[in-house]
Amino acid sequence: MTTSSPWRATVLTLFPEMFPGPLGVSLAGRALASGVWELEARDIRASATDRHRSVDDTPAGGGPGMVLRADVLAAAIDAAEIGQDSSKERPRLLMSPRGRPLTQARVVELTQGPGPLIVCGRFEGIDQRVIDGRGLEEVSIGDYVLSGGEIAALALIDACVRLLPGVMGKEASGTEESFSDGLLEYPQYTRPQLFEGVPIPEILTSGDHAKVAAWRRAESEALTAARRPDLSAQIPVKAPNRAGRQKTPKNKTDG
Ligand code: SAM
């Protein structure tokens, strides 16, 4: 009988000591310790060949900063793939502010394979020839610039790991969250029933599951329309909630 290998993230970085970092605690940390997933942080500098172990050089054509060398990074990627099962092709990602923005849909896809190889850039970025030659998919975690790809890689891995079977206490909690159906999540409440004079919306304590579901859907739609019209435009209209919803959820006390 063959057992399948756990989902695995291989990270290429100049700072392997940044891993597992926050992924070593809580849900992800427990799952890592129990073998639900694996993490391999590889030092790009180990593939440097000159006596100074240099990994970067000045940009061709001039300009500020330094660029990660193609020969060093390509050798690091090739070394990371030695001994990998070639029948299970892994996505090769490059964390990059120029990349396609990471979405929950892409995160779900990434959990369905063997797990990605992730390159963390530094300096001004990496030589384009290694992006093209090694088929790296550029992935951004938002329209801002970090000093390196490591924090972006940690965010991407965290988003994947929490969806792996057995990581979240209740598997269903991954299916009702923001973005899972193209909407932002509805507001959540818990005890105490009355907080600073504000009660939990009555409908949530009514015990009527159909009404609760309809209320949550309407709240999700209103919140998405108010905050993320870009997402809202992509949601298929579902009668009657979308048409019937008039208010934005400013007043959390409404029922
Ligand atoms: N010169 C690059 C540019 O303008 O696009 C920015 C380089 S940034 C200082 C260094 C590295 O941080 C990048 O190569 C990338 O790996 C990572 N990085 C920065 N911002 C990111 C973002 N929003 N998403 C993903 N990775 C990011």
| Ligand 1 atom closest to 125 (CA) | 14
- Indicate which residue's Cα is closest to atom 13 of ligand 1: 121
Lowest pLDDT segment from 25-39, 74-88, 228-242: 228-242
Average pLDDT over every residue of 217-243:
79
**Ligand 1 pocket: which residues have CB below 6 Å?**
95-98, 120-122, 124-125, 140-142, 144-149, 152
70 Cα distance to chain centroid: 26
Ligand 1 centroid to 177 CA: how many Å? 28
pLDDT band at 239 (very low <50, low <70, confident <90, very high): very low
Q: What pLDDT was estimated at residue 180?
A: 80
- Residue 227: count other Cβ atoms within 10 Å of its Cβ: 12
The identity of residue 212, as a single letter, is: V
Per-residue pLDDT band at 205 (split at 50, 70, 90): very high
pLDDT surpasses 70 at 35: yes
pLDDT at 248: 38
CA angle at residue 228 from 224 to 232, to 5 degrees?
60
The pLDDT tens digits of the residues spanning 3-30 come to 679 999 999 999 999 999 999 999 999 9
Question: Domains along the chain?
Answer: 7-161 (3.40.1280.10), 180-254 (1.10.1270.20)
Per DSSP bridges, beta strands 194-195 and 56-57 are unpaired
List C-alpha distances in Å: 47 to 44, 56, 76, 149, 216: 6, 12, 5, 18, 52
Q: Atom 9, ligand 1: which residue's CA is nearest?
A: 147
143 is annotated as contributing to ligand binding: yes
Task: Please indicate if the annotation marks 142 as binding a ligand.
Answer: yes
Token digits of residue 222: 């209103």
